[in-house]
Chain A
Amino acid sequence: MAKTVSQIILDASKVDKVGVEERVARIQTRSVKGTSKVQGLKMALNMIDLTTLEGKDTQGKVRQMCYKAHHLHDSIPDLPAVAAVCVYPSMVKFAKKELRNTSVKVASVSTAFPSGQAPLEVKILDTKFAVDQGADEIDMVISRGKFLQGEFQFVYDEIAQIKEACGKARLKVILETGELTTLDNVRLASDIAIHAGADFIKTSTGKIQPAATMQVTYTMLMAIQDYFAETGIMIGMKPAGGISTSKLALHNLLMVKEVLGDEWLTNQWFRFGASSLANDVLMQLIKCESGIYASPDYVSID
């Protein structure tokens, strides 16, 4: 039996922000060295949703990004491809074509991304269009205004309807945590999204600061942990926006490992929404192999 929204609200854990900050700080003192660092960095690469979400996106830009997605740095052997590319609906068909015969999936934002300020019919159409174009994954945004107004049922229903519109595509629900302001809100929004049918919950659009802080991600991971304990169903997590360094990526992965466990350490259950992270990881990998610090001039920008 699905939970009612009022039950979800009642059950949502309270969050103490200072406690979360302390927990995160403790994870950030973890030291990842040697082989575990190389392993972690490669894992991170394989979890990236390489993203371009700009008004000025063109097929040219998308083509370059798609190539990079499965040719990250050819001079290092055995590098994985990224998990997916993430584009606007208008670019889905093209990206899909560029990535045929690769493992890289195509994710499309939808539901009047990034603001979500459109009628439900438009959002459904937006979603169906992207799916019809071949999107493997849909990244929707929740209605933050409605959430802050207390219209949780509306938020829930909207997610449930978009989920229906997704068909076989996996649904990532963006909470835009920077607009929710408190961790209590982040937790409640996570619970609503999960119960309404999200396959993944995602922090941010990348258009609002702050985005994927570790405190926010930790709070969302806890919602996933609780849902798994209650139902045995795994939900994926995608921090997006602001994760641009290898160190931060490794700490995020460690957090996943400690909060959720090894099962989540695959790109089926964890993603980074990022545009510049890949190159920093590559530079770190180069350094790990050679022992010499790298320069950004030696990794390609796309």
Chain B
Amino acid sequence: MKRIEILKTYKIYIGGQFPRTESGRYYTVNNSEGKAHANVCLCSRKDVRNAVVAARKAQGAWAERSAFNRGQILYRIAEMFEGRKIQFIDELTQQGQTKKAAQAEVNMAIERLVYYAGWCDKYNQILSSVNPVSSSHFNFSSCEPMGVVGIIPDQQSPLLGLISLLAPVIAGGNTAIVLASVDYPLCAVTFAEVLHASDVPGGVVNILTGALQETAPTLSSHMDVNALVTSNLGNEVNTPLQVAAVDNLKRYFDYKQDWNNSSAQGLHFIGDLQEIKTTWHPIEQIGGATSSY
């Protein structure tokens, strides 16, 4: 007799917990054969709001962790991911990919996490500067995370596209609200479980599923979100989001990129989500007039 499988409930991830959407709604995701495969949360504006609150609450402490520690945690995500490769490959194939393509995507996703894990305690050294000002002051510029970042990944790259945007955001000390691919949300939720098992503090990453037309405008207009990152959404989706983002002058980045490309990674993805802060302080000895030793 064939064993009855245990089916998975795909829930959303907010503040380190896996609630269902507060709206109680769902939508059905089909597998590659067109059969109903899972019921996924159809998130509402309020879920977005809750996710932003969670992300804001987590942001200060995440940014103040040592860069080394953030690197360890990102590496830990890769480790946990590695252990669940088969599940991700399975979900990707359920969603219509060939097994070979799914394997390649999963491998690259892990490598991308390792890549950004290594950046955590280095990017600030590369992007900072000591500025030789003309007056008797010590002056330096360094990076600070922008804060709470909304992420709408490439809808056609549900795993690698998501990780490619998310990893540089959290590597740089930001916290994130991710709107998962509408049609292919399964591995986003499974990835949340990986995050949950990887010492990532609750609220640092929040992942929602549902319809973009409902969640994206809320996210892009939310006054407590500092930046919005999107990829390959197309102008029709993008422009209204960009307009809505203006009200609190969100930093807005839209990456047109093939994330399967091994070079679709780099320091600038971290740097884009950093503010440059410049600090001045007087130096007592230069140009001394009271004691010219």
Contact = CB atoms under 8 A, between A and B. Distances in A.
Direct contact of A and B (CB under 8 A): yes
Given A18-B136, A21-B136, A177 B282 contact: no
Interface of A: 16-19, 21, 177-178, 181-183, 186, 210, 213-216
B283 A18 contact: yes
B282 A19 contact: yes
Nearest to A177: B290
A contacts with B: majority SS: helix
B292 interface: yes
Contacts of B292: 210
B282 A16 contact: yes
A17 B282 CA distance: 8
A17 B287 CA distance: 10
A213 B287 CA distance: 13
Interface residue range, chain B = 10 to 19
B149 to A, nearest CB: 38
B289 to A, nearest CB: 5
A214 B282 CA distance: 19
Instruction: List the 9 closest pairs (A to B, CB-CB), nearest first.
Output: A18-B282, A17-B284, A18-B136, A215-B290, A181-B291, A213-B290, A213-B289, A215-B289, A216-B290
Interface of B: 135-137, 282-284, 287-292
B290 A210 contact: yes
Contacts of B291: 178, 181-182, 210
A154 to B, nearest CB: 24
A180 to B, nearest CB: 9
Nearest to B135: A18
B40 to A, nearest CB: 61
A21 B136 CA distance: 10
Contact of A210 (B135, B136, B289): B289
B8 to A, nearest CB: 63
A210 B137 CA distance: 23
Contacts of A215: 289-290
Contact of A183 (B135, B282, B283, B290): B290
A214 B292 CA distance: 14
Nearest to B286: A18
Nearest to B136: A18
A250 to B, nearest CB: 18
Nearest to B293: A181
Contact of B137 (A18, A181, A182): A18
B67 to A, nearest CB: 31
13 contacts: A16-B284, A18-B136, A18-B282, A18-B284, A21-B287, A21-B289, A177-B290, A178-B291, A182-B290, A182-B291, A186-B290, A213-B290, A216-B290
Nearest to A24: B289
Nearest to B281: A18
A198 B65 CA distance: 55
